[in-house]
Every structure is written in structure tokens, then in C-alpha cells.
Structure 1
Amino acid sequence: MNTSIPPRLVADALWLLTARSRGGNHWVSNAHCQIQTIEFGGHSHPISLLEHSNWQECAASSPRSALLRAHRQRLKQSTSATARIADTLSCLVYGPLSALMHTGKLDQAALVANYLLPTSLYPAWGADDIQLMTERLQTAHPQRPLMMQHLSSEVCPQLMQHLRNLGWKMVATRTVFLSDPQQTQQTGFWPDTDVEIVHQDQLSNSDLHELHALYQLHKRSNVRQTNHLQTDFSLAFFELCLETGFVELTGLRWQGHWVGILGTYTQTDSDWLTAPLMAWDHNLPVSVKPEHLLHDLFIREAQQKQLRLHCGTEQKIAPDRSHSAIEYTAIYDQHLPTTQKIANRWFSALFQQCVYRPS
């Protein structure tokens, strides 16, 4: 693609252009949200709007799924006695939380710069950009709370401070793992394996149907990812990634069959690399472990690009020498009626005390 525009901006613009006309489910099959745009920082950015919080909405598009259903699902999947007891008693907490979320309309919030990825990275916006964004969103969505997901004081400290200065409230919502692979030794690859690494520039459109089928098989095979909360990327999303590098794809091939796929993502001027897409074949011989090679590829790419690693809990990997970090959801409701602001305040307090208590 011959253009003087940076590839990241081209990819974002094509994602946004199509999402505006076709909706979020064009890229993510279980994200039935409307996509609008806002101008700040010199570019257009997506605003995702959910009218009806269907129980099948993925966490990337639905605050209700991200804040309530995801934590409830973890309780149901846990085998510990404490978690089973908590799940039994959870209706005493989740019922009031659900009612508060409905009253404050948090489940119908306007999500800022939401590209429907399970992990988010943001450009280095300045204080003026954030002020302009907040003012324009209040005008465009006077009845909706404003929300930004996946904020960490280590990954985007200045952005969080700009938001706080304007009255955005931070609610701790999940734990992620961060690491600096530049401080570790080069990862080793299997010396005896015949798994072929196929990079983005070696993939073709004819490969995408098989890679997408592998991704779907992974979601069905992995017990922890069979629930509806996980992001379900469409075949069209795979095609976008191959065309623009929106997410950079790397495939693994063994004996002529695709056995693994890694999709990595970064943002302009970001020091971080994340992997919103990772899948492998679960029905291979013990000697072939594509998940280990995908893990090594992720670290190796960060080392080559001199970026640090950002790993969401849904990836089920923790790089060497990684440490946990708290991610926050930022909420702005100063433009809303008093009833909604009170409901949101109580929701945040109850959620922090009874659902996710950061250590």
C-alpha cells in the first residue's frame, strides 16, 4: 500500500470506516455494538455504543460482560471450595450490582477508543487532547456515562493522570502481567522441532480460512475460552490484519497443517506489545507444543522491537520475570443526573469491595 500515512493510522482508519457502516460485529462476531467516531488528537477515534446488554456480548464491547459476567464466570470455573461458596452466594452481590449498573447506565456507556480488542493500548495523548475529548463526548452523549477500559499506571501513567485531573474516576477491574524481555536472555526454540514459522509477509489470503478455522477450534477446545465473553474475531478481521497489519499475524505450520497463530498489537509511540490473538491446535502429539513456541515468539518479537510485554489474563501466559499489575476502567459521569451519579458511585464501591479487591 503506497502511502505516506503511517501504517498504524491506515489500519485504524480502515477498521473504523468499516465498523461505522457495518457495526462492531463485522470485526468481532459477538460484539453487536454501534460504532461512532470522535475527533481529537488530530485523528478520528471509535466510540462504541451498546443499546441492549445481551448476555452473549463479549467483554470487549460490553461493560456488563467485562465487569460482572467475566468475574462471575471465573467463580464458576474455579475448583476451589472458597470460590464455589462465593459462587453460591454471588446472587447476593451480583443482583444489587446489576441493578446499580442499570440505574447508572454503565452498561450503556460510550466506550472511548475501543477497537474491540481484549487488551488495549493507547497513544500518548496530551492534557489538551483529553479535555477536548471529554467535552465533545459530553455534548455528543449527554445521557451516557463515558468509559475507557484497560488503563494501567505503569503502561499509561500520563493518560490516567490527565483523566483524573478532569474528574474521571478509576475503578480497579482486573489483573494483567507486564515484563521487560530486554532484561532476560534470548528465549530458546525447540532444537528438534519441524514446526515452521510463517510470518505476516509470507501469509496469503488462501491461508486465512484455515487459520480462522484453527482459531475457532481453539476456542471450542480450550475449556476456559468456550464462554461467550471471549472475543470472537471474524474472518473479515483476519483479512483486515493481513491487508493492513492492524494485528500482526504469525502462523505455525507442522506437517503441512496450521497448528498455531499469534496476533500482536502495539500503538503509535507505545513502549508496549500485547497479543490479543493467540490460538493453537490442542490435538497434537505431546512432542509438539505450539503454545510454547507461540509464547517464545511473543517474547522474541518484543525483544526485536525493543518493546515491553503486556499480557492479559485471557492469554494464560506469564513471561519470565513478569509481575502483576492492576488495570482500571475510567468512568466519567459529571454530566449525568444526580440519580445516575449516585448509582455509579455505589456500584464502584460495591464492586471494589465484593468482586475485585486489588491487593
Structure 2
Amino acid sequence: MWEQALRPVISGLGAILRSGSIDDAVIVNNALISTNLHPDLSAVALAKITRVLVEAHPDCAIAWRSVHGRDSELPERLRANGYQLIPARSVLFVPTKDRQFESHRDYRKDLNLWHSTLADPDGYRLTAPSCLTDEQCLRIAELYRMLYLEKYSWHSPQYQSSFFEQTARTGMFKYLLIERAGRIDAVIGYYTNHQHLAAPIIGYDTSLPRELGLYRMINLQITETAWQRGLEVHASSGVASFKRSRGAETEIEYTAVYAQHLSRRQRFAWHTLDAVINSVAPTLIDRFEL
């Protein structure tokens, strides 16, 4: 029903966006992953970055993905520098101070599951290698493909094994492996910035029985790792009810766009997109409990 009602709007909007060359954009601090964690830059720094990029790319919009106001004044500072804040998605954060997540029954059940597998001599174990072997990288690529591509969408980034080797070697991501009998059955790749921990790389063997609780173990280890580091979890989007039942809280994430230097046609495209999304996003978020 919603798709049919929105189809004419989307079609008309698409024509406006194409005519406004909306794909011509420079995306700042974009690591080509699902969630970008930004430092809490000052207004002066943002103004300088914007000025340099406008001079270097006069025909392109300047955009920042994954902008949120969780413990950050970044949205307000971007707005003060002339950026439009366009709602992008509803995301979730898990506060870890004082281990308040343990007040949730589902989290305690996950913790009991982990303690149970640790008590089993043949159960799962967590390892945190500082570097990855070729064999480990191949297995991680397989687990990522099973979850992100085969289960969810082939439009997700299709990382190869060399990506995991390089991100581990350079320290871009730290990896946690959930192993049993010498075989990796689940993986977490995470990084930290400005009081938050995000895990854009996860995967598990979806051919194994769901009763093993591999995804529950992944979620548990992400939260525990963040708590140990004194950080909140940026839990991205998806499976919202699962995450909320384990202490996650909802925030809106924006794409911040600077288009003041562009042609009238390009500015019109961005302002139209901004107006349409800001008018329908609250309704969709409420309707689908995003």
C-alpha cells in the first residue's frame, strides 16, 4: 500500500534529482562501510574543511554521512555552517555506563548462553588476533557473505578476503573471532571514535542451527567490548526490536549536505530532497517502528 502511494512521488523526485546531478557529491570521511564515526569537530574546523572542499570541487555537493547528535554537537555545527540535515535512517545506540544493559532480561539470557558455552570443554571461545592469516581471512569473507549478501542483500559491499587482511594489518579494524574446534563460526570487526564503538563487519555461519545463538553471542561481545573500553555501542540499524530488548536506544542519523555554492538547478534538487524526506520520514518511522 505504502509503495503504491509513494510511487508517483518517487518517480517525480527521481527526475528532479537526476536533472540536479545529485550524484555529483564529495563525501567526507567516508570509509565505504555501513557506519562512519566522526570526531566532534569544532565549527571553525568544519568551516575550513568545507571551504577547502568547495574550492577543490566547485561542481559537487559536500556531504557527511552518519551524522547524529548522540553526545555530539556535530549536527548543530554543520547546520551553522550552512549544511542541510537530511534524515537518512533510524539507528540504535547501547549505553554501557554502569552496565545498565544488564537490566534487560534478553541480555542476561545471552550472557548465560555465553557462560554455558565457556563451561563446555567443546564450546565456543573468543579470540582477538592482532593479525589474520590467509585462511582466517578466507573464512571471515565467507561468513560475511553468508550474512550480509546471501541473507540480506547483494547490494551490500562485497568485501574480498584481502580487505579483511588489510584492515587488520593497518589497524583500521580490530577483529574478534568466535571459534569452536579450530573453526571460526562468527566474526566481529570493530573500530572506535569519539566515545563510540561500531562493528561494521559481522558475520556468522548461517548454515548452523539457530539454537546455537551465534548472533546473540556477536551482539553480547560487541556490548561487552564497548563497556570494557568505556564506550557506547553504535549499533547501526536493522533488527531493531532485538537490539532494543537488550538496551538499545533510537536516534535519527542524517546526511549533512552543503550545496550553497552549486547552480540553482542543483540547489533545487537538494532542497526538494530535503523537503520530501523531512515530510515523510517521521510518518514512516512511526508507522514501521523503525
TM-score normalized with structure 2 length: 0.85
| Structure 1, unaligned runs of 5 or more | 1-84
Q: Does 1:209 align with 2:209?
A: no
Structure 1's 102 and 199: CA in aligned 2 closer, same or farther, altered over 3 A?
A: same
Residue of 64, 77, 83 corresponding to 1:168: 83
- Following the alignment from structure 2 to structure 1, what is the Cα–Cα distance between the partners of residues 57 and 131? 44
- Following the alignment from structure 2 to structure 1, what is the Cα–Cα distance between the partners of residues 281 and 77? 27
Partner SS state of residue 102, structure 1: helix
Aligned residue for 1:6? none
Aligned residue for 2:93? 178
Q: Which has the higher contact order (CA 8 A, sep 6+)?
A: 2
Aligned residue for 1:23? none
For residue 189 of structure 1, report the CA deviation from its aligned partner.
Answer: 4.7
Partner SS state of residue 312, structure 1: coil
Aligned residue for 1:142? 58
Q: How many residues align?
A: 269
- Counterparts of 1:102-113 in structure 2, within 5 Å, are 102-113=18-29
Aligned residue for 2:235? 311
- Counterparts of 1:190-339 in structure 2, within 5 Å, are 190=113, 191-193=115-117, 194-201=123-130, 203-222=132-151, 225-228=152-155, 230-267=156-193, 270-314=194-238, 317-318=242-243, 320-339=246-265
Cα deviation per residue 1:186-218 (whole Å; 9 max; x = unaligned)? 962523320121213374343111221221122
Residue of 5, 17, 22 corresponding to 1:101: 17
| Structure 2, unaligned runs of 5 or more | 118-122
TM-score normalized with structure 1 length: 0.70
Cα deviation per residue 1:65-89 (whole Å; 9 max; x = unaligned)? xxxxxxxxxxxxxxxxxxxx11233
For residue 100 of structure 1, report the CA deviation from its aligned partner.
Answer: 2.0
| Amino acid across the alignment from 1:208 | C
Structure 1's 213 and 168: CA in aligned 2 closer, same or farther, altered over 3 A?
A: same
Quick one: percent identity of the two aligned structures?
22
For residue 162 of structure 1, report the CA deviation from its aligned partner.
Answer: 1.9
For residue 155 of structure 1, report the CA deviation from its aligned partner.
Answer: 4.3
- Following the alignment from structure 1 to structure 2, what is the Cα–Cα distance between the partners of residues 346 and 287? 47
- Following the alignment from structure 1 to structure 2, what is the Cα–Cα distance between the partners of residues 93 and 341? 19
Aligned residue for 1:24? none
Structure with the higher fraction of residues in helix conformation: 2
- Following the alignment from structure 1 to structure 2, what is the Cα–Cα distance between the partners of residues 280 and 163? 38
Structure 1's 189 and 101: CA in aligned 2 closer, same or farther, altered over 3 A?
A: farther
Partner SS state of residue 99, structure 1: helix
- Following the alignment from structure 2 to structure 1, what is the Cα–Cα distance between the partners of residues 253 and 52? 25
Matched-pair contact (CA < 8 Å) for 2:140–2:203: no
**What is the Cα-based RMSD across aligned positions, in Å?**
2.1
Matched-pair contact (CA < 8 Å) for 1:105–1:145: no
| Amino acid across the alignment from 1:276 | P
Structure 1's 205 and 97: CA in aligned 2 closer, same or farther, altered over 3 A?
A: same
Partner SS state of residue 107, structure 1: coil
